[in-house]
């Protein structure tokens, strides 16, 4: 990082009340609990009510993050919401959130990088603060993936859930805060993972979709799995090297919660124990841009990070995209 040091001042999370268990899914599609747990590690996921949209989940997580940071919303200079399921195309979910929070002095925009979106948001927010343009930035990952999930497709409906996580970024003391970021993309792999295809300028209506394309989340599971396992290891080692550290310095890895087999493969390659990795995919499933901030908020709640710890955040997703960050807590 160039400029003044930037750290995390507060974290927050919110997940809807409704729980969709594997047993519930057994009544909806041809599947069973053992099959789901063996292949994904997921036991349940949260589902938003009909009245809840991405901005509603984002508001609850942001309110908690601001409270934990001891920062009033009027002190925010910028709000970034990472989401692939915005309330509407315009206004941005970030602008809707800004009004609801009463953050009258904040600029606001949405960011779309699928499951990597939160780390993309962190990199943007941290650099705005490092440059001196803003003092405090709210970065949120919020998703209502249940609205773009096909609950007749047993290969995808078992994976996704809803929720939001948020962090407040601000200046910190020397020797603490973010040390490095790495962002990447490979658009040639965009067709391997798609979601929410209807409503844009390419396919305004579902009837505009080419034959064989679904408006719901779809992925080539085998190819995405191979990409994810590879990028988790290489990204973690690369972003650590940029920070002048190695895998032996990791106190806590907070990965995107897509699949327990991907996380376990990364743990083996990086030689990490379960105590060094934050895992909650069993309770929430894959919530795209919200998985990392929710996991980070829970790690803080559980006391799994302490001052001086080296924390690594790594995400990967549609686009294809990936993003990593290293910080001293």
The continuous run of DSSP H or E covering 126 comes out as helix 117-130
First-to-final CA distance of the chain: 15
Containing 212, the helix (H) or strand (E) segment is none
Going 89 to 158 to 113 to 59, the CA torsion angle's sign is positive
Q: Is 115 a catalytic residue?
A: yes
The Cα 247–Cα 228 span in angstroms is 18
Backbone CA torsion sign across 155, 156, 161, 164: positive
- 298 in helix, strand or coil? helix
Annotated catalytic residue 9: no
CB proximity list for 34: less than 8 A, separation 6 or greater:
none
- State the catalytic residue, choosing from 115, 124, 157, 216: 115
Place of tokens 């609950």: 151
| CA-to-CA separations, 246 to 235, 240, 251, 306, 328, in angstroms, rounded | 12, 6, 11, 19, 14
Beta strands in the chain (DSSP E): 6-14, 18-21, 44-47, 78-82, 107-111, 137-144, 162-171, 177-185, 193-194, 218-219, 252-255, 310-317, 321-328
Indicate which residue of 68, 124, 259, 286 is catalytic: 286
**Of 9, 124, 256, 259, which is the active-site residue?**
256
As a whole number of angstroms, the distance between CA 119 and CA 63 comes to 20
Residue 275's closest CA among 300, 238, 250?
A: 250
* Alpha-carbon distances, residue 182 vs 121, 213, 311, 326 (angstroms): 12, 32, 14, 9
Give the containing element (helix H, strand E) for 204: none
Q: Which helix (H) or strand (E) covers residue 94, if one does? A: helix 93-101
And the tokens for 258? 């897509």
Does the annotation count 286 as an active-site position?
Answer: yes
Hey, which residues are catalytic here? 115, 256, 286
């Amino acid at each position: 990082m160039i400029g003044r040091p930037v750290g995390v001042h507060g974290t927050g999370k919110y997940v809807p009340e409704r729980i969709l268990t594997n047993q519930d899914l057994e009544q909806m599609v041809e599947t069973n609990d053992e099959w789901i747990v063996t292949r994904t590690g997921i036991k349940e996921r949260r589902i938003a009510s009909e009245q809840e949209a991405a901005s509603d989940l984002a508001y609850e997580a942001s309110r908690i993050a601001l409270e934990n940071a001891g920062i009033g919303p009027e002190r925010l200079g910028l709000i970034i919401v990472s989401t692939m399921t915005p309330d509407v195309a315009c206004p941005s979910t970030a602008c809707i959130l800004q009004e609801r929070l009463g953050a009258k002095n904040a600029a606001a925009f949405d960011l779309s990088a699928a499951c990597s979106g939160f780390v993309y948001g962190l990199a943007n927010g941290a650099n705005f603060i490092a440059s001196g343009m803003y003092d405090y930035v709210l970065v949120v990952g919020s998703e209502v993936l249940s609205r773009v999930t096909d609950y007749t497709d047993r290969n995808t409906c078992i994976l996704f859930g809803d929720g939001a996580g948020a962090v407040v970024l601000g200046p910190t003391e020397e020797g603490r805060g973010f040390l490095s970021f790495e962002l990447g993309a490979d658009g040639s792999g965009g067709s391997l993972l798609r979601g929410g295809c209807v409503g844009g300028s390419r396919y305004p209506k579902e009837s505009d979709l080419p034959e064989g394309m679904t408006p719901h989340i779809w992925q080539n599971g085998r190819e995405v799995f191979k990409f994810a396992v590879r990028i988790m290891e290489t990204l973690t080692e690369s972003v650590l090297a940029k920070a002048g550290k190695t895998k032996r310095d990791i106190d806590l890895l907070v990965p995107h919660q897509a699949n327990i087999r991907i996380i376990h493969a990364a743990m083996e390659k990086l030689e990490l124990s379960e105590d060094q990795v934050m895992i909650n995919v069993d309770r929430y499933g894959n919530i795209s841009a919200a998985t990392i901030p929710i996991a980070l908020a829970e790690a803080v709640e559980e006391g799994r990070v302490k001052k001086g710890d080296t924390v690594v955040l790594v995400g990967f997703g549609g686009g294809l995209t990936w993003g990593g960050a290293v910080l001293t807590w």
